[in-house]
Amino acid sequence: MNAKRRKGIQALIDTLKRDFRETAGSTGIPAPDEALIEAIRRVPRDRFVTERDLDLAWENTALSIGYGQTISQPFVVTLMTQLLALTPESRVLEIGTGSGYQAALLGELAGEVYSIEVVPELAAQAESRLREMGYENVHVRAGNGRLGWPEAAPFDAVIVTAAAEEIPPTLVEQLRPGGRLVIPVDTGWYGQDLVLGVRGEDGGLETRNVLGVVFVPLVGRE
């Protein structure tokens, strides 16, 4: 790892730890897990941004990746991943592959990752990039994320990286009892809340709002 990348990674990690402390009153999480921090060290974010944004790869900001999509702000990526409470045995469904950066982090922490991207070109790019980087446990396909990946269900965790007007029931159905769903949901007041849901044994979803966020909209219909 070159010195510039090492310095950029450490600066980002310091910023993430600060942001976790400052938002702990809302999120209930004062610091990211060390396993997650180590995953951030291992996944080179500069491999997932456009060439024009290479100098911004380690900044705590969202960046355009084309097709009206973005690579999310690292703090939000880290927070959403933390909320999933992953183990090395977890099976994860991701809706919104984008560049593949979030999928790579999930691949570092979970057993199997199934990621769906609505833009075929982005799905192909992410699949190729992740394969080149050795993430054999990350599976990518193009499609309507609202429909999930039923043949791979049930999942221990579902993460949605685009804002929905409400939580898609199909995604809840593909979550095992005790599993966690993290999704941005429109508030109806020109804003979005990051929502954590835990599926009960009865099939219901107990939810709580975690933090205000900004995401591109979730497209497609069930």
Contacts (Cβ under 8 Å, ≥6 apart) of 65: 48, 49, 50, 71, 98, 99, 122
Contacts (Cβ under 8 Å, ≥6 apart) of 212: 191, 192, 193, 194
Give me the active site residues, please: 72
> Could you list the pLDDT tens digit for every one of the 222 residues in the chain?
688 888 999 999 999 999 999 999 999 999 999 999 999 999 999 999 999 999 999 999 999 999 989 999 999 999 999 999 999 999 999 999 999 999 999 999 999 999 999 999 999 999 999 999 999 999 999 999 999 999 999 999 999 999 999 999 999 999 999 999 999 999 877 789 999 999 999 999 999 999 999 888 888 766
Give CA 95 to chain center in angstroms: 8
| pLDDT for the residue numbered 217 | 86
| pLDDT for the residue numbered 128 | 97
For the residues of 149-195, what is the DSSP string, one character each?
-GGG--EEEEEE-SBBSS--HHHHHTEEEEEEEEEEEE-SSS-EEEE
| pLDDT for the residue numbered 190 | 72
Nearest to 98 by CA among 215, 15, 11, 221: 215
Residue ranges and CATH numbers for the domains of the chain are 64-213 (3.40.50.150)
